[in-house]
Chains A and B, each alone.
Chain A
Amino acid sequence: MIVVPRNFRRCAPWACVAALVSGLGHVGSAQQKVTTQNGAAQAQVTFSRDIAPILYRSCVLCHRPGESAPFPLLAYTDAKSRARQIAVVTRSRFMPPWLPEEGELKFADELRLSTDEIARIQAWADQGAPEGDPADLPAKPKFAEGWQLGKPDVIARATKPYALTASGSDNYWNFVFRAPIDRTRWLDAIEIRPGDKRLVHHANVLVDRQQNGRRQEIDPGAGFGGMELTIESEVFDPDSHFLFWKPGSIPYVEPDGMALRLDKDTDLVLNTHLQPSGKPETIQPTLGLYFTDKPATLHPILLQLENDRMLDIPAGDKRFVVTDEFTLPVDVDVLAIYPHAHYLGKDLRAIAKFPDGRSETLIHIPDWNLNWQAVYRYAQPFRLPKGTAISMNFVYDNSEDNIRNPNDPPRRVVGGNRAVDEMAHLWLQVLPEPISQGQNDPRVLIVEAMAQHNLQKNPDDFEAHYNLAALLMGRGEVPQAIAHFEHANRIRPNEPTVNNAFGAALLAVGRTEESIPHLTAALNARPDYFDARYNLGNALASLGDFRGALAQFQAAVRINPEDANAEANLGSAFAETGDLKQAKLHYERALRLNPNHELARDNLQQLSREANPR
Chain B
Amino acid sequence: MSEKPQTFRLVSRLLIPTILLCVCSKPLFSSNQQRLATDLEGKPFDLSHASRGKIVVFIFVRTDCPISNRYAPTIQQLSAQHRNDATFFLVYPDKKETPDAIRKHDREFGYTFAALRDPQHVLVKQSQAQITPEAAVFDASRRLVYHGRIDNLYEDFGHARKSPTTHELADAIEAAIAERPLSGTATPAVGCYISDLE
Partner-B contacts on A (CB < 8 A): 2-5, 8, 10-12, 14-23, 25, 29, 70-71, 80-85, 88-89, 92, 94-95, 97, 129, 166-167, 169-170, 198, 276-279, 343, 369, 371-372, 403-406, 408
Contact = CB atoms under 8 A, between A and B. Distances in A.
Given A14-B48, A19-B28, A170-B162, 4 more contacts: A8-B21, A83-B196, A92-B156, A276-B70
A279 B110 contact: yes
A278 B158 contact: no
Contact of A166 (B72, B144, B156, B163): B72
B142 to A, nearest CB: 6
A94 B156 contact: yes
Given A14-B126, A25-B125, A92-B156, A19 B66 contact: no
A20 B196 contact: no
B193 A22 contact: no
B50 to A, nearest CB: 12
A14 B142 contact: yes
Given A14-B144, A18-B122, A82-B196, A408 B165 contact: yes
Interface residues of B, number: 50
B88 to A, nearest CB: 16
B36 to A, nearest CB: 10
Contacts of A2: 16-17, 20
Contacts of B109: 166, 278-279
B114 interface: no
A69 B104 CA distance: 20
14 contacts: A4-B17, A4-B20, A8-B21, A11-B25, A16-B23, A20-B20, A22-B121, A23-B26, A82-B196, A85-B196, A92-B156, A404-B161, A404-B162, A405-B162
Contacts of B23: 16, 19-20, 23
B108 interface: yes
Interface of B: 16-17, 20-21, 23-28, 35, 47-48, 64-66, 69-74, 94, 96, 108-110, 121-122, 125-126, 142-144, 155-163, 165, 192-193, 195-198
Q: Which 6 A-B pairs have the closest CB atoms?
A: A167-B73, A278-B72, A70-B66, A278-B69, A84-B193, A16-B24
A85 B195 CA distance: 10
Contacts of A372: 158
Given A3-B16, A19-B26, A406 B108 contact: no
B64 A20 contact: no
Contact of A85 (B108, B161, B192): B192
Contacts of A25: 125
Q: Which DSSP category, helix, strand, loop or mixed, fits chain A's interface?
A: loop
Contacts of A29: 198
A11 B28 contact: yes
B27 A22 contact: yes
Contacts of B20: 2, 4, 16, 20
Given A166-B72, A371-B158, A403-B155, A5 B198 contact: no
Contacts of A408: 161-163, 165
Nearest to B47: A14
A372 B159 CA distance: 11
